Structure 1
Amino acid sequence: MENIQKIIAENLKMIRKTRGLSLDSAAEATGVSKAMLGQIERGESSPTVTTLWKIATGLQVSFSSLIREEPSEIVLVSMKDVDPVIENNGEYRVYSIFPFDPRKKFEIYIIELDPGCQHVSDPHNEGIEENITVMSGCLELKINSEKYLVNAGSSIRFTANRQHTYTNPGTEMVRFQLVMYYP
């Protein structure tokens, strides 16, 4: 995979220019400062997962549309070849395995949380669903005020238009697959 910072820079600039948005109007729509958007577009800043979600939500695009490369007909993906988006001092890693394709309306990620890591995700746009399958460890998922423990080999699906928090309450890394569905 090409340098993730460069991919994000090119995709953000293309989305913004295609929509005829200035940096000021993009900043207003996303809640991310004009200076930060400019740095991201120039490849001078590596945005956090939270920042990318703010941009995606504000511009009403999928998360992976900011981090995807051009698709081909057959794709074989090895995690070792995917540069993750990293947050929480490296304790939270998001690997975009199959980026969003508007014809299919979904994207697939592998997410890893180190022991004790917690990541709060702001509400996504209306109708977006998260489908999670835990591959190893135990994921604590809090949706609004309700908590769910999802063990390895188990899955959970929910409408993601409300705040949700991923937590690793255990002593081993949690790895889960996340399929985001866009209606």
Structure 2
Amino acid sequence: MNSIQTQIAENLKQIRKLRGYSYDQLASLTGVSKGMLSQIEKGESSPTVNTLWKIANGLQVSFSSLVEENKPSVSVIRLHEKSAVMENGEQFQVYPYFPFDSSKKFEIYFIEMKPGCIHTSDRHHGSVEEYVLVCEGEAKVSITEESYLLKKGDSMKFQAAHSHTYANETNQITSFYLLIYYS
């Protein structure tokens, strides 16, 4: 099996399993027979460009995502090497750790809020969930009429269909991870 054939096999299998598709479901989406899809994943068949385009279109991924080499399996992110996006006179600092990836449908940020900081986030369009995991301090999260106080080690998730506010009402820095999931 040549390297491009191996890469296609690995990428297709990874995408299919990540999305939880059976061969029948994938065949229905792509118009490629389940037998051919199985052979491609096992590296027993070298698909044509036309077949790869059918698969890419059916999965709604780029053609190159099927043929490109996998990225390293380990990525180390160091806070001191990241630049923050700042707001509110540097009161609210957002460090993008893992940017949005359409195949994974999420992004992760590390956020620091100085004492007294209040940040309001507009509602997100579509079906979006936010996950908050507090590292240090306390974060008050307000969604519509409800408020939730999260302390170190606490976490929450919520539908981000309404505007929501993050507040640090303490006299110390609050930090938390924010995962945004786009279903």
Same fold (TM > 0.5) = yes
Extract structure 1 runs of 4+ deviating beyond 6 A: none
State how far apart, in whole Å, the 2-side matches of 1:106 and 1:129 are.
Answer: 9
Q: TM-score, normalised by structure 2?
A: 0.60
State how far apart, in whole Å, the 1-side matches of 2:71 and 2:93 are.
Answer: 25
Letter in 2 for 1:105: K
Shift of 1:72: 4.1
Q: Give RMSD over aligned pairs.
A: 1.2
Residue aligning to 2:166? 166
Residue aligning to 1:156? 156
Which structure: larger Rg? 2
Residue aligning to 2:136? 136
Letter in 2 for 1:89: G
State how far apart, in whole Å, the 2-side matches of 1:124 and 1:151 are.
Answer: 25
Count of residue pairs the alignment pairs up: 113
Residue aligning to 2:4? none
Q: TM-score, normalised by structure 1?
A: 0.60
- Once the two structures are superposed, residues 130-153 of structure 1 have per-residue CA deviations (whole angstroms, 9 ceiling, x without a partner) of 000000000000001111001110
Shift of 1:126: 2.0
Q: Does 1:101 align with 2:127?
A: no
Residue aligning to 1:110? 110
- Once the two structures are superposed, residues 104-123 of structure 1 have per-residue CA deviations (whole angstroms, 9 ceiling, x without a partner) of 11111000100000001000
| Partner SS, residue 123 of structure 1 | coil
State how far apart, in whole Å, the 2-side matches of 1:76 and 1:159 are.
Answer: 29
Gaps of 5+ in 1: 1-70
